């Protein structure tokens, strides 16, 4: 499919397979949104945890 579409770059065929392998486009978008939300939550929680356990050296 990637050769037929004349896509350039090494990642283009992988992206094409990923898009075509999903049964529905909505499921793929929901998965992407969930991963982005989880990344933001993880980042926020890591900042909170560092702030809670940070010891003032003075």
Phi and psi, residue 6, nearest 5°? 55, 50
Domain boundaries, the chain: 24-58
1 token code pair:
């499919």
**First-last CA distance in the chain:** 62
Q: Which residues contact 43 (CB under 8 A, 6 or more apart)?
A: none
Q: Higher model confidence: residue 51 or residue 27?
A: 51
Task: Report the alpha-carbon distance of residue 47 to residue 31 in Å, rounded.
Answer: 25
pLDDT in tens, 2-49: 566 666 665 666 776 776 766 677 777 888 889 999 999 999 999 999
């Amino acid at each position: 499919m990637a050769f037929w579409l004349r896509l350039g770059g090494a990642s283009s065929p992988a992206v094409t397979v990923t898009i075509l392998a999903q049964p529905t486009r909505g499921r793929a978008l929901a998965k992407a949104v969930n991963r982005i939300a989880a990344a933001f939550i993880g980042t926020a929680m890591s900042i909170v945890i560092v702030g809670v356990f940070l010891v003032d050296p003075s």
